[in-house]
C-alpha cells in the first residue's frame, strides 16, 4: 500500500463507501499506535504525549490546520501534556479512507516536531 500521508482526502458524500472492516488490519499496520474504537460507530483514535501544555496546544493547532486543508475534521481533545484525536467520517457514520489518510498525516506532523 502506498504511503497514506502522501494521499489527499477526497470529498465524502452521504453515499460514499465505508472502509471494509477486513481492510482495517492492513490500514492500521501502516499507522503508528492508532486503534479503532467502536462507540456507536467506528472511530480511529490515538493520544499523543507532550512534555508541556504549550507543545500540546501547538500540535492541536497544526491538526486544526490539517483539518482545514483536507476539509476533514476530527475531534480534538486538548489537555496538559496530551492531545487525543478521533477521526471518523460524519456523513457516512464510520470510517472512510480519508480518516486513515488524516491519521497518517497527523503522525507525520507529530514526527516532524
> Which cell numbers in the block locate residue 110?
507529530
Q: pLDDT tens across 31-81, in order?
A: 999 999 998 999 999 999 999 999 999 999 999 999 999 999 999 999 999
**Is residue 103 one of the residues assigned to a domain?**
yes
Read off the pLDDT band of 85 (50, 70, 90): very high
Number of structural domains (the chain) is 1
Q: Rounded distance, CA 48 to CA 55, Å?
A: 11
In this predicted structure, what is the pLDDT of residue 1? 43
What is the span of the domain harbouring residue 54? 21-111
Read off the pLDDT band of 4 (50, 70, 90): very high
**Is residue 11 one of the residues assigned to a domain?**
no
CATH of the domain at 107: 3.30.1360.20
**Is residue 15 one of the residues assigned to a domain?**
no
**Is residue 85 one of the residues assigned to a domain?**
yes
> What values do phi and psi take at 66, rounded to 5?
-60, -45
Amino acid at each position: 500500500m502506498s504511503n497514506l500521508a502522501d494521499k489527499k482526502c477526497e470529498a465524502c458524500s452521504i453515499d460514499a463507501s465505508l472502509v471494509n472492516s477486513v481492510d482495517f488490519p492492513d490500514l492500521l499496520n501502516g499507522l503508528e499506535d492508532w486503534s479503532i474504537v467502536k462507540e456507536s460507530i467506528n472511530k480511529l483514535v490515538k493520544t499523543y504525549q507532550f512534555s508541556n501544555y504549550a507543545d500540546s496546544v501547538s500540535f492541536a493547532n497544526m491538526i486544526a490546520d490539517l483539518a482545514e486543508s483536507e476539509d476533514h475534521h476530527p475531534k480534538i481533545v486538548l489537555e496538559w501534556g496530551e492531545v487525543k484525536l478521533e477521526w471518523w467520517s460524519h456523513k457516512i457514520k464510520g470510517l472512510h479512507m480519508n480518516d486513515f489518510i488524516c491519521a497518517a498525516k497527523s503522525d507525520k506532523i507529530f514526527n516532524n516536531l
